[in-house]
Structure 1
Amino acid sequence: MVGTMPVPDKDRLDEARLTEWLDANVAGFAGPIALSRFKGGQSNPTYRIDTPGQSYVLRRQPFGPLLPSAHAVDREYRVQAALYPTGFPVARPYGLCTDRDVIGSMFYVMGLADGRNLWDGSLPGYTPDQRRGVYHAMIDTLAALHNTDHVSVGLADYGKPGNYFERQVARWTKQYKASETETIPEVDKLIEWLPKTVPPQERVSIVHGDYRIDNMIFHAEEPRVIAVLDWELSTLGDPLADFSYFLMNWVTEPEGRSGVKGLDYDALGIPSLDRAVERYCAATGRSGVPDLNWYFSYNLFRLTGIVQGIKKRIVDGTAASAQAEATAARVPALAKSAWHFAQLAGAS
């Protein structure tokens, strides 16, 4: 989320009904409210709520038809509410509203984490020590999530623990097919190959599902994550799904987003992929990680499904961002890249 803008007409909320709900459900709330919308993000529209004494964030489901199991803001709220008391860095959860009559869709309210929201993985303008600190903080925070006992925090039933990748491949195949707008040969090949080559699962943890630099708020000055955002895709599963997704940064071109492929890591202070693996493994008690090419292929296939969903919502008129059209244009390239890593993993 980068900055806010006035709320577009199509995204306006009933401020009177919302204020009434906040007054009844959010401890310490005192209006009046001023609403703005965060820029960016094609999934769950996100608003800033300012009051004379405090600021909050509201995330809601999109208006209009939704794909099955998508835009699960109730799950986002549940996992953050479970993690917050443990000290894991999430925004303070204030309340979940499942009554769609209040603003027209399900939503939840959390505290505003005031800090740095970074987008460019090369961290321009930072010193090598500052970059190193940010990367170590991201790795250590992910390790802390995967080390969290999901049973003791009340998330034993947050997802099916076993056969994670098998179920995820099936899910994203189904999601892709539900939003398919054209035939892409690489996707068809991936749909056939991935289920036959799923690696064995050795561990179960809370999985964030979209762990990347721009889904975190960093302390204004310290190299420390103060809030991990956007838990829509979280579940129980194989922690290697999260970690391999994070490692995609090292095989993605640096185009102003999270990719750092080919940069001079030593000069910049960014750990190499091997050093990132070493730090994560030390923090989680692993001796190493398996060959990553299957995982990279899977992650890109999953991204293909997510972005195809955005493309379909453009057709349906429910996409939530001005960047949605440009994002949707990435589908063929994502599919080709996914198949490239599949071939490196042995597909033919």
Structure 2
Amino acid sequence: MTEPPAPGQSGPELPTPELPTPELPGLDLGRLAAHLGTGPLTGELIPGGRSNLTYRVTDGAHRWVLRRPPLGHVLATAHDMTREHRVISALAGTAVPVPAVELLCEDTDVIGAPFYLMEEVPGQALRHRDQCPWLTPDKARALSDRLVDVLADLHAVDPADVGLTDFGRPEGFLTRQVTRWGKQLDASRSRELPGIDELRDRLGATVPRSARATIVHGDYRLDNVLVTEDPVDISAVLDWEMATLGDPLADVGLLCVYWNGIGAREDDPVTGTVPTLPGFTGAGEMVRRYAERSGADVTDLDWYTAFAYFKLAVILEGIHFRFTRGKTVGAGFDQIGHLTLPLVRQGLAATAGER
């Protein structure tokens, strides 16, 4: 299967330490401390995530990052901690920068959901221009190139070399993706969305033939990597919840959508405005660099871009669905629902070859 269901094994109920710990939505620090055998823990929700939840946790001597699924309305197979843990572990030692993973816990009695711990890596996810006053035009260009090169390096990894030959089914990948995201749409449908079914039908009728199969990240973008300042570099690629084996151009099309902005908004709440700073290369130049590095034929990239608009529209509609039911933690979620229809319109334009 491309994305097997998330495990949910039960286990013994863990005692809670006598010392009180601050409340943190989605993470019981007392139970986590008991499970890890540490002293009292403190933690904080790392802002910016729109799906799986990410926390910074410490016992005073050690620091970790914890990932768990969202609090409610979890679509089947969409938030599998085991798969994230597996792909990050497999990529350790390759040219793709990833954090070291420390622990996978499938026992839902600990914090109420499966989770994993990984090392805290230096660097920051760049989402807003005011985060990076140090980003000169030369550094911005270097970061643009590095972002493309890391993606090409990921697509160059042979799944057999890292034990991921059974991580997905590349045959028929694109057709299944259109079907899968259509089902995700239906599972989160709570309002009228003019044009989204037409976009799904156009994509399904014009699926291109995949030239090759690789490990794909599934949500590769600037704010899903950690960036260091001096020297400017990518220290880790994060958020592997959608990773599988499939057509690498799906990653390229999605990167272009994120790079060009969502709904032509200056206050983009999804990817921020960092790529609008002086020095960053345009999406077209990034595609050319990727093609040179990977040898890929990017002739049919319009379809992949249109599919990326559709996929992102479905993801945001799912987040909007959870937000309206009070099942999502963090700031900015009240704006997410306004982006779905602009994405649908851009996707329809891309299917017609309009950029």
Q: What TM-score bracket applies, with the shorter chain setting the length?
A: 0.7 to 0.9
Alpha-carbon distance between aligned partners in 1 of 2:105 and 2:212, rounded to the nearest angstrom = 33
Go from structure 1 to structure 2 and tell me whether the alpha carbon gap of 1:254 and 1:327 turns closer, same or farther (over 3 Å shift): closer
Q: What's the offset of the Cα at 1:35?
A: 1.4
Partner of 2:160, secondary structure, is coil
Show the counterpart of 2:69.
61
1:173-188 to 2 correspondence within 5 Å?
173-188=182-197
Q: What 5-or-longer segments of structure 2 have no aligned partner?
A: 1-20
Query: Retained in 2: the 8 A contact 1:55–1:112?
Result: yes
Which of 29, 47, 52 is matched with 2:55 structurally?
47
- Which residue in 1 is equivalent to 2:219? 210
Output one character per residue of 1:228-262: Cα deviation in whole Å (capped at 9) or x when no partner: 11111111110000011112245334725558899
Of residues 310, 334, 349, the one that matches 1:340 is 349
Cα distance change on mapping 1:63 and 1:229 into 2, 3 Å = same
CA distance in 2 between partners of 1:345 and 1:165 (Å): 21
Structure 2 partner of 1:27: none
Matched residues, percent identical?
A: 38
What is the deviation of 1:322? 2.5
Relative to structure 1, is the Cα distance of residues 272 and 44 closer, same or farther in structure 2, using a 3 angstrom cutoff? Answer: closer
Partner of 1:4: none
1:71 aligns with 2:79: yes
The equivalent residue for 1:101 is 109
Matching residue of 1:284 = 294
Distance 1:343 1:41, change over 3 A: same
The number of equivalent residue pairs is 330
1:3 matched residue in structure 2: none
Gap change, CA 1:46 and 1:169, over 3 Å in 2: same
Q: Distance in 1 between matches of 2:152 and 2:57?
A: 32
Distance in 2 separating the partners of 1:119 and 1:41 = 11
Equivalent residue letter for 1:63:
L
CA distance change for structure 1 residues 259 and 310 in 2, over 3 Å: closer, same or farther? closer
Question: Would the aligned equivalents of 2:140 and 2:279 in 1 still touch at CA under 8 Å?
Answer: yes
Q: What residue number does 2:331 align with? A: 322
Unaligned runs of 5+ in 1: 1-6, 24-29
Distance 1:201 1:244 in 2: 14
Instruction: Give, in whole Å, the separation in 2 of the partners of 1:95 and 1:261.
Output: 33
Rounded to whole Å, the distance in 2 between the matches of 1:262 and 1:82 is 30
Residue-by-residue CA offset, 1:310-332 (whole Å, 9 max, x unaligned): 12112332122232221122112
- Corresponding residue of 2:235: 226
RMSD across aligned C-alpha pairs, in angstroms? 2.5
Counterpart in the other structure of 2:155 = 146
Q: Structure 1 residue 335: deviation in Å?
A: 1.3
Q: CA deviation at 1:111?
A: 0.6
What secondary structure sits across from 2:93 in the alignment? helix
In structure 2, C-alpha distance between the alignment counterparts of 1:186 and 1:12, rounded to whole Å:
35
- Distance in 1 of aligned mates of 2:237 and 2:225: 4
What residue is the counterpart of 1:86 in the other structure? 94
Runs of 4+ in 1 over 3 A off after TM superposition: 7-10, 120-125, 256-263
- So what's the TM-score if we normalise by structure 1? 0.87
CA contact (8 A) 1:244 1:296 kept: yes
Contact 1:249 / 1:259 at 8 angstroms: preserved in 2?
A: no
Change (3 A) 1:273 1:144: same
Q: 2:27 aligns with which of 13, 16, 27?
A: 13
What is the TM-score with the length of structure 2 in the denominator?
A: 0.85
Kept in 1, the 8 Å contact 2:30–2:40? The answer is no
